[in-house]
Every structure is written in C-alpha cells, then in structure tokens.
C-alpha cells in the first residue's frame, strides 16, 4: 500500500506519495550530534576538533563548525549502510567561510564519490567502482558567509547526474550507466588526508539517499532536521 504524508513547512502544504526513505540522516546538531536518525542506524560520525555552532535558521547548536585546518573534520564509518551502489542523492546545508574542502567524500585519502566545494563552487564527481573518474559537475559560486542548501544526485537508470542548489537543479549531464564507488572504508567531511584543501565553515543536516530524488522530493526535505517532529511525521 502506498503512503501519503502531509505536513506544513513554512506555511506551505506539501505531500509525499511514497516518501523517499533516507539511507542516512545526520542532523549534526547539539541534540543528536553525529548520530544517524535513519532506519539504517549507521554508526555515528567521529568528530575531530569541530565545534557546535548556529544552524541554518539561527537555531543554537544547529550545526558543526570546521576550523579550516588539517585536524578539523568528521569521519563517518561506512560499514555497508552508506553503500549506494547504483543511484544516490546527497543533500546538506553548508555555510562557507573559505573556498575549498570536502562536504562528503567517500574515502579517507582516496577520491571515491566526492561532493566538495572547490574554488567557491559546488563540485561533484561520481567515480566508478573500478576507479574511473567521470566528468564532474560545477555550480556557480556559492554564497560566502551565508547558508546554502546544496545537493548532488545520480540516476543509474537514466545515467544522469545533477547538482542541486536551493532545491533546484543547477546543472546536469549524462555520464552513462555505472556502479558507484561508495563501498568500504570511511567517509570524510572537512578534510581528506593528503589533500591540502581544508573546509572552513559549518555543515548541518547531511542526508544520503539510495536513489535519485526529484525536485518535488528534494524541496520538502530541506527542512527535515529543523521542523519539530517533521522526521517522525514523514517516516513514523
């Protein structure tokens, strides 16, 4: 039986027909820390030299602050629950204070699927399980000193990759049908060992899905970590 969920977000009524089930949701806030709230119950991220900071809507302790040094990062164990082998969507809130660094990088010192900020632009490169680097996507420059709701997705069935900014598709291209490099090891946020680019800024509400979401699905989940009771309303 298909589920229909209704909820209010900023005075607008949205509904999901079969709501997208997340592979992981890391609120990255004072209440839940680096825990995963999804049904997968992935191991929590391990924080190193990061601090709680205000979130996207001004809530106290609503994000984690990265200092822009080689020792300031979060490492997420990938024991299999984060292996989105065929299709995926990555979504996060990012507050930039510099121009370079990883948002969500599969691998501690290797470039699996990697979702970054590069030279102030949103950047994503999907890589194959056999280690082939495919054509990347770049956005326009993100807002510095402000929150950006950003994402990237890949659809195995269509071969299309997309970059998302503020719930809208910014750029897309076809990279053919591949199997994604999302298995094994851990995932890094803030720092990649051996790379001299270190993210300075804040990150909140990291979401991972094992399919390519549509615009109708991406826009409502932008508030998934912030609206009181919203997660339970959709998935409870």
CATH number corresponding to 20-222: 2.60.120.200
At residue 176, the 3 state secondary structure works out as coil
**CB–CB of 90/153 below 8 Å?**
yes
**Measuring CA to CA, which residue among 41, 26, 86 is closest to residue 210?**
86
Q: What distance in Å separates the CA atoms of residue 171 and residue 168, rounded to the nearest whole number?
A: 9
Question: What mean pLDDT is predicted for residues 45-66?
Answer: 97
**CB–CB of 115/104 below 8 Å?**
yes
Split at pLDDT 50, 70, 90, the class of 140 is: confident
> CA distances (Å), 188 to each of 170, 177, 192, in order?
24, 26, 6
- For the chain, what are the domain ranges? 20-222
| 221 φ/ψ angles, rounded to the nearest 5 degrees | -80, 0
Q: What distance in Å separates the CA atoms of residue 81 and residue 188, rounded to the nearest whole number?
A: 15
Radius of gyration of the chain (CA): 16
Q: What distance in Å separates the CA atoms of residue 80 and residue 170, rounded to the nearest whole number?
A: 30
**CB–CB of 29/55 below 8 Å?**
yes
Split at pLDDT 50, 70, 90, the class of 14 is: very low
Which residues lie below 8 Å from residue 236, measured CB to CB, with a gap of 6+? none
pLDDT of residue 11: 33
Please, which residues bridge with residue 153 across strands? Answer: 89, 162
Q: What distance in Å separates the CA atoms of residue 201 and residue 189, rounded to the nearest whole number?
A: 11
pLDDT of residue 226: 85
Note the pLDDT tens digit of each residue in 156-192: 999 999 999 999 999 999 999 999 999 978 999 999 9
**CB–CB of 225/29 below 8 Å?**
yes
Q: What distance in Å separates the CA atoms of residue 175 and residue 122, rounded to the nearest whole number?
A: 18
Tell me whether strands 63-67 and 200-209 are parallel, antiparallel or unpaired. Answer: antiparallel
Note the pLDDT tens digit of each residue in 178-236: 999 999 789 999 999 999 999 999 999 999 999 999 999 998 899 889 876 555 545 55
């Amino acid at each position: 039986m298909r589920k229909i969920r209704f909820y209010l977000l900023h005075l607008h009524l949205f509904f999901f027909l079969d709501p997208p089930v997340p592979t992981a949701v890391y609120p990255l806030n004072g209440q839940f820390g680096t825990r995963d709230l999804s049904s997968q119950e992935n191991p929590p991220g391990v924080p190193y030299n990061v601090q709680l900071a205000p979130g996207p809507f001004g809530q106290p302790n609503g994000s984690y602050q990265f200092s822009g040094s080689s020792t300031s990062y979060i490492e997420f164990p990938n024991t299999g629950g984060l292996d989105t082998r065929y299709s995926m969507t990555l979504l996060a809130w990012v507050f930039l204070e510099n121009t370079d660094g990883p948002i969500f990088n599969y691998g501690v010192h290797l470039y699996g699927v990697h979702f970054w900020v590069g030279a102030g632009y949103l950047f994503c490169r999907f890589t194959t399980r056999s280690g082939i680097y495919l054509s990347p996507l770049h956005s326009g420059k993100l807002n510095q000193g402000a929150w950006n709701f950003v994402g990237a997705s890949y659809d195995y069935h269509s071969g299309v990759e997309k970059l998302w900014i503020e719930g809208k598709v910014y750029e897309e291209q076809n990279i053919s049908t591949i199997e994604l490099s999302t298995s094994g090891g851990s995932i890094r946020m803030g720092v990649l060992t051996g790379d001299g680019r270190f993210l300075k800024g804040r990150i909140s509400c990291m979401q991972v899905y094992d399919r390519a979401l549509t615009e109708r699905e991406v826009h409502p989940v932008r508030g998934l970590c912030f609206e009181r009771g919203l997660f339970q309303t959709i998935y409870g």
